Amino acid sequence: MLAVGVLAAAGIAVPAANATEESTPRDTSVAPAAVPAHAVTGYWQNFNNGATIQTLAEVQDQYDIIAVSFADATSTPGEVTFNLDSAGLGGYTVEQFKADLAAKKADGKSVIISIGGEKGAVAVNDDASAGAFADSAYRLMQEYGFDGVDIDLENGLNSTYMTQALKSLSAKAGSGFVLTMAPQTIDMQSTSNEYFKTALNVKDILTVVNMQYYNSGSMLGCDGKVYSQGSVDFLTALACIQLEGGLDPSRVGIGVPASARGAGSGYVEPSVVNNALDCLTQGTNCGSFKPSKTYPGLRGAMTWSTNWDAAAGSAWSNAVGPHVHSLP
């Protein structure tokens, strides 16, 4: 993704995040809003890589879930922290970030902290690291007001201990906890994969899995045929694997780049995303692949990123957002 690494590989400099400035503790306990039945997720970049720099307040209104990218690993295995890149974001302060986050929540949005990215080195592979993950993520929720977490670990995970960590975090957070995931396509090809197993293990607390249908290459669909990225069939035939593999439609979304600049490959026009949503929910506007049944409860769509969306005139959210929100 989402990937500072992918972007750096493209020759775009990504400044290191500065240490979070000291601030007076504040009440961040804005009541969490319920995630809509059909929701749009967008990743907000805590770094400047050539996309439009945004404050949280400037994130487009079509986004229901805003995933702040990314948390940082500490020297303690499993532990995460967050360092706002104030310098890279034009002097955006921690206090303003917290105020903007609270205002988004008051406006009915969910704001979560994303763990990972292509270079995210957070390892949860034993009891101690599972505990450190849950404890530190909960501290971030308390300090900043995050509604939950997004799991975007692209270098592997351990389903046993990540399940343990997420269930512990959910128990600490209580009602309103938002849990999203952004696996790569290879991670969701089979229910035996660790990422897929994790999603199934936590499906009782899971909000949505927004698989990344990009930077992928060709993959198998649920009919056993090979599909190439960048097509409506790629979106629908791969979503079918999750939908028939044990995830409720309300926990499945389609993740795509907001513009051709947002990923190395796999960009599709917003109209293709909308066609895929129609195909999966209503059986219309399909390509050569048509699912054997419809999934009207499908959660929605995700994009990397709100910043790349803004750089393209918000064309993605202006087209996909209303379509998601009008799904039956």
Catalytic status, residue 21? no
Give me 71's structure tokens. 């948390």
Which one-letter amino acid corresponds to residue 166? L
Helical spans, DSSP H, in the chain = 4-9, 94-106, 127-144, 159-173, 194-201, 232-244, 270-282, 306-311, 315-325
**Sign of CA pseudo-dihedral 189, 124, 215, 54:** positive
CB of 120 closer than 8 Å to CB of 112: no
Among residues 79, 154, 244, 269, which one is catalytic? 154
Report the candidate in 174, 74, 194 with the shortest Cα–Cα distance to residue 132.
74
**Cα atoms in the Cβ-side hemisphere of radius 13 Å centred on 46:** 26
**Sign of CA pseudo-dihedral 228, 233, 239, 240:** negative
> Distance (Å, rounded) from C-alpha 15 to C-alpha 90?
12
> Distance (Å, rounded) from C-alpha 62 to C-alpha 57?
13
Cα 264 to chain centroid distance, Å, stands at: 18
Q: Are strands 72-73 and 80-81 parallel, antiparallel or unpaired?
A: antiparallel
Report the candidate in 233, 231, 219, 213 with the shortest Cα–Cα distance to residue 291.
233
Which residues are the active-site residues? 154
